[in-house]
Amino acid sequence: MNYILAFLRNNLKSISYGISIGRNRLKIIYFTIIGGLFFCISGALSQNTAIVFNTKENVTFDIGKEIDNTFSLRLTNQINVDATGSYIYNWDVHDFQFVDCSFYDGGSIFFPIKQGSHLTITYKGDNQIEISGTDKAEVEFYIGNYKKGIIQPFIGSLFSFPPESSFEALSLLIEEHYSILSNTLDSLVSENTISPKFSDILKNEFHTIATCVGIEIYRTRYLENAATKVNEQDSIKVEGIINGILDEISPIIDSGDILKYNLGRSSLAVFYNNKYRCLNEKEKEKLFLRNKWANSLEANRLGYLIAPEEVLYKLLSLELLDNYANGVTKGNSALFSYISEIRPQNAFLPYLKEKQNELLASINTDYSEIKYVESVINTLEDLNKVDYFDQKILYIDLWATWCGPCIVEFKHKDKLHELLQHYKDIIPVYISLDEDKNDIIWSEKTKVFNLKGYHLRANKELTTDINEKLFGGRGIGVPHYILLDKDGNILEKNLSRPSKIDKLKQELDKHFD
C-alpha cells in the first residue's frame, strides 16, 4: 500500500467534544476569561494567531510547525501545560496553516487555522476536547462534520470501488462527493457560520486530495493490475483523461499552496509522477543522469525530477526530514548538498542541519546497553529459557523497521525506561518482525534510535506463535506491547503505548507491589 493510501487509512480519527462539569468548571471558566482578555489585547495590537491551551492535568504535547509555507509533521514545538494555568501559543500565520497537536497521552487534534484566528482548546484527556474562540464553528466543522460526514464516507467508497469500473465512473464519484461538500460549505457561508476563506481552504483540500487519491487507486487497482490489465489503446485514453484532470488542479499546484495541506506532498508526488510517465525513456535518462540525487529517492518520488526549483527544494527537504526521523542514512549527503546549492538561504536548512547532527550523534553513541539475543526463540515461552531472562518480567515491544507508528513511539523511549526502572526485575525486550533481507537495516536502527534493552528478530515459528497467542491468527499488528511473567506466561496482551505513559504506568502497577 503506498504512502498516501496508508496515511489515509491510519489518520482519520474521530474527535468527540465534552462540556466542562464538576470541580474543574470554575478553573476552565477562569482560563477562558484570561484567554478572552488575551484575545482582545492581541487582536488590537497585531494580526498574530493564538491558541490558548487549558488542561485538567499536566500534559505535554507537540504542535506542528509550518516552515516556508510548508506543512510538516516532522518539525514540532514541544509544549508543557500544567493544570494550574493556561499556555498561550502565539505565532505568525500567513494566510492559513494546518495545525497538528499530538498530546502525549495519545490524544490528537488536527485542523486548519486562518491568519489572526484566536482559539481556546481545553483538553480533558482521552480525546475529549472543548473548543471556544473566534473560529470555534469552523474548527468544530472540520474535525467533526467534514471528517466524519465527507472524508470518511469518500475514502470508504474509494476503497470499495470496483476495480473493473471505468475511470469516468470514478471521476463521477469524486465529483459527487465534492458537490456535497461544496453545497454544504456554500450554505454555511451564506449563514455566516463559516468564512468564505475557510470554505475555499476545504474545497481546495478536498478537490486536490480526492483527485490524487482517486488517480492512485485507479492506477494501482486497474491500469497496473495484471488481473484487470487494459489494452494499450484504452490505457492511452485513460492516461489522457488523467492528465486532463491533473491540469484542472494545476493552479493550486503551481501556486505552491498545496504544500500547506496535510497530504500536499503526496498529492504533488502523484501529480509529478503522472507527468513524468509521459516522458520517453531518453528524456527520463537525461534527467536522471543530470541529477545524481535522484538515486536517493524511492521510485514513487522520481516525478520530483520535473518539479520546478521553487517547489523541488521543499520536497527534497521533506524527504530528508523523513530520513532523519526514520534513521535512514543512505543518500542524505547528496540531497543536503543539492538543497544547499539551489536554495542556500532557505528556511529548512537550520532544521536539516540540526536533525542531521542528531542522527550522527545517535550513530556514534555508546551501544553497550543495546544487546542482541543469540538463542533460537520459537515461542514466547522460550524467552524464559534465556539465561539473562531467568526470573525476569519481560516488557516486550513488537515492532518493525517499516512501521512508521512504531518509530514515532521511540521518541518516548526515555520516559519509558525511566518508568521501567521503578519496577523490580523488569527488562525491555524489542522483537522485530522484519524479514531476513532487512537484517542489516534492523541492526542499524536499533542503534540509531538507541533502543536500550534486548533485541531479536522473530523467525517464522515465533511470528506464528505471536500471531496465534495475541491476535487469534488474524495477523500481527504493530506497534504492540505485552508483558510476560517470570515463567513466560502472558500477563498483559495489549499494553498502552509509551506515548500514553500515564495509562501504561497504571497497567504495570497492577502487577507490582
Mind giving me the DSSP string for 59-79? EEEEEEEEETTEEEEEEEEEE
DSSP state of 412: G
Determine how many CB atoms are found less than 10 A away from the CB of residue 51. 22
| Cβ count near 227 (within 10 Å) | 8
CA dist., res. 272 & res. 264, Å (int): 12
The alpha helices in 160-263, defined as continuous H runs, are 167-190, 196-218, 232-248, 250-255
Instruction: Tell me if 122 sits within 8 A of 20, measured CB to CB.
Output: yes
Q: Is the dihedral of CA 380, 384, 386, 389 positive or negative?
A: positive
Least confident of 22-31, 94-103, 334-343, 475-484: 22-31
Q: What is the per-residue pLDDT across 404-426, written as a single tens digit (0 to 9) for each?
A: 889 889 988 999 999 999 998 99
Contact at 8 Å (CB) between 188 and 203?
A: no
Q: 112 — phi, psi (to 5°)?
A: -90, 150
pLDDT tens-digit readout, 191-229: 999 999 999 999 988 888 788 878 887 777 766 665 555
Which residue in the block uniquely carries the three cell numbers 449563514? 191
Number of Cα atoms under 13 Å in the Cβ half of residue 235? 12
Q: What is the CA radius of gyration of the chain?
A: 25
Report d(CA 310, CA 260) in Å as an integer.
14
Give the per-residue pLDDT at 175: 87
C-alpha cell at 54: 487549558
| Cell 505565532 -> residue | 91
Residue 117 has pLDDT above 80, yes or no: yes
Strand partners, 97: 113
CA distance from start to end of the chain: 45
Is residue 325 classed as helix, strand or coil in its secondary structure? helix
CB-count burial class (<10 Å; 0-12, 13-18, 19+) for 179: exposed
Q: How far is 394 from 119, CA to CA, in rounded Å?
A: 44
pLDDT tens string 23-50: 333 333 333 333 443 444 334 334 578 8
pLDDT of residue 229: 59
Quote the pTM value.
0.77
